[in-house]
Amino acid sequence: MLNNSGEEERRLVLGVARSANDNAWRERLSPTDTRNAMAIAQMHGLPDVLARVLAARGVVADQAADFLAPSIKNLMPDPSRLVDLDDAVMRVADAIQGDRKIAIFGDYDVDGATSSAIFAKYLQWLGQDPVIHIPDRIIEGYGPNGPAIEHLHQSGAELLVTLDCGSTSFEAFETARKLDLDVVVIDHHQVGETLPEVVALVNPNRQDDLSGQEHLAAVGVTFLFLVGLNRELRRRGAFQNGQQPDLMSLLDLVALGTVCDVVPLRGLNRAYVTRGLAVMHQRRNYGLTALADVARVSGRPAPYHLGFLIGPRINAGGRIGDAALGARLLTTEDPHEARALAERLDQLNSERQTMEALMLEQAGAEAVAAIEQRDPSVLLTGSEDWHPGIVGLIASRLKEAHRRPAFAISFDETGKGTGSGRSIPGVDLGKAVRQAVEDGLLEKGGGHAMAAGLTVHRDKASDLEAFFNETLQADVDAATAHREIKVDAALTATGATLDLMELLEKAGPYGAGHSEPVFAFPAHRVTFADVVGKGHVRATLAAGDGSTLKAICFKADDKPHGKMLLEGRGRNLHVSGSLSIDTWQGTPKVQLRILDVADPQKSRH
């Protein structure tokens, strides 16, 4: 019988114990998963590679058929199971039928923009003219605030609905109460036991909610709310004289917000995204279509396009420009306005990329110096020269580069710092931030396990770093003890076909909590490798039978795996990565997105 070390050795893929990026390559499937994969293949007549992908993601044989065809109808719960949803529905339905003006207050990220857009479009279908307020990230900060609520009230709003925010807005809603302005909150962020006094607070993450929908993004919760609202208005006879709103046509926006908020693509979320991508392909939303065009999205849309091409452009408005641009773009019915807004967001995204590069250079140097001097478990970087709208991106880059939680903080001239943190699996950053608030180290802060925001004075920055390292060191050590890439199967360039991609798409869409399949390509010769674009490495890999596969390695010209590719022209290398379809001039071809590289002669130790 194998001991633990023998078992780990047996599960190595291609014997790679140490890759260019210092990873071990291990089989994603356990022995139990492998048996389950065989059962899936035999019971449903599916190819082995698809059965392995399904089994590795927790699908059992008798669930495979339903998993491959996720249905919103089958997966959607009764909206009334969410605490306070019926109260929210009744209040909004009364406002609609009483022709009362409704104000929407959304968050400044993609989840907030899409939540605001689907609710606004629904109200517009019913003849309403809602006002949307998206707060300025720098001036107003996150969530509802008193001055904005006063302004909305003065503009005639008789009901305020907050989306993707509001669960902890005690002071702001006290202002609303004094103005006799009713408030309905639709949110998904983690909250404590005490909640603000509002007409209804719909949040599947509130502690008394047992609906089981805590994995939904705010836009997913908002869509559930609209299903309940539509049902109530239909019960009241509101659609007798006209066609009722087409909720399913909003799923392209639901998919966008779901993917960009990086919630697990399981259950209802997976159905949202599967159906939403199909709606998006129909190009019915003028704003989304225009943004896809300026982002040069080709072929059928995929989660990758949403998360890395479309989402960042919407976020650019909230980070360094006008935070309301995204919601305006997604709600416009004017194709010319849509094109103008999309081009503006594309321009802002380019400016954001330039600013990010300069900030990252400074933050990277600070992080390296900290690691050399004291090797902290949690990185804490900051500067007076950084734009507060971009610190979250810097934290994410630092986390990826150094494989540990990281914070980036923008300080103003008074020493007040606005920061954002990103974590690694197994380390709950939001919990640590909330504890730091209770301990008086932070003026305010919150978040969830993988991301958090905070406000701290520079005088307390060193104490905060010490607190994070003391609190999280054990979790970080445990999370980083084994660096590995999990591989679904081994392939050759010959097997990377469009037919295979069609099979893999059936098990998608892939994203958070439902990771893209990773394949290992053994001893493929690097026939071409060069730097393209902004530090990307493009390569061509050849199998032993002469078949070739185009590959791209993003932002890797200065990374170990990128350097190994560039220096490995003419040599055989093990390569691992995920497959995608690259459509050029209307012709689809399979492309490998390289994650890691290993030298067959040096990777077994």
Q: Assess contact for 406 and 443: CB atoms under 8 A.
A: no
Round to whole Å and give the CA distance between 358 and 360: 5
* Sign of the alpha-carbon torsion through 340, 346, 350, 352: positive
Amino acid at 507: A
For the stretch 57-78, pLDDT in tens is 989 999 898 888 889 999 999 9
**Residues contacting residue 398 through CB under 8 Å, at least 6 positions apart:** 363, 364, 367, 379, 381, 406, 408, 422
Band the pLDDT of 204: cuts 50, 70, 90: very high
**Over 60: is that where the pLDDT of 5 sits?**
no
The DSSP line for 282-317 is: TT--HHHHHHHHHTT--SS--HHHIIIIIHHHHHHH
Q: What is the pLDDT of residues 143-156, one digit of tens each?
A: 899 999 999 999 99
Comma-separated ranges of CATH 3.10.310.30 domains in the chain: 376-480
Residues 433-444: pLDDT tens digits? Answer: 989 999 999 988
In angstroms, how far is the first alpha carbon of the chain from the final one? 23
Amino acid at 46: L
CATH topology of domain 376-480: Diaminopimelate Epimerase; Chain A, domain 1 (3.10.310)
pLDDT band at 8 (very low <50, low <70, confident <90, very high): low
CATH number of 74-347: 3.90.1640.30
Average pLDDT, the chain: 93
Q: Which residues pair with 160 in a beta bridge?
A: 103, 183
CATH topology of domain 13-24+485-598: OB fold (Dihydrolipoamide Acetyltransferase, E2P) (2.40.50)
Q: Whole-angstrom Cα distance, residue 359 to residue 307?
A: 22
The CA distance from 256 to 100, in Å, is: 30
DSSP 201-218: EE-TTSTT--SS-TT--H
Peptide bond into 388 cis (omega under 30): no
Return the number of other C-beta atoms located less than 10 Å from residue 56's C-beta: 24
- Residue 304 banded pLDDT, cuts 50, 70, 90: confident
Nearest to 196 by CA among 263, 144, 237: 144
> What does the pLDDT look like over 240-294, one tens digit per residue?
877 889 999 999 999 999 999 988 888 899 999 999 999 999 999 999 999 999 9
State yes or no: pLDDT of 208 exceeds 50.
yes
**The predicted structure's pLDDT at residue 3:** 46
Spatial separation of the C-alpha atoms in residues 346 and 557, rounded to whole Å? 25
Q: In this structure, are residues 592 and 578 in contact, taking their beta carbons and an 8 Å threshold?
A: yes
For 380, the 3-state DSSP assignment is strand
Instruction: Return residue ranges of the chain for CATH 2.40.50.140.
Output: 13-24+485-598
Distances (CA, A) of 498 to 229, 301, 379, 487: 42, 16, 43, 20
Residue 2: pLDDT band by 50, 70, 90 thresholds?
Answer: very low
By three-state DSSP, how is residue 520 classified? strand
Among 295, 298, 333, CA closest to 314? 295
Q: Read off the pLDDT band of 511 (50, 70, 90).
A: confident
359-381: pLDDT as tens digits: 999 999 999 999 999 999 999 99
pTM of the predicted model, to two decimals? 0.86
Least confident segment among 199-203, 447-451, 547-551: 447-451
CA 326 vs CA 223, 291, 393: distances in Å: 18, 10, 18
Rounded Cα distance between 241 and 234, Å, is 11
What is the model's pLDDT at position 9? Answer: 57
Residue ranges of the chain assigned to CATH 3.90.1640.30: 74-347
Distance CA 53, CA 33 (A): 10
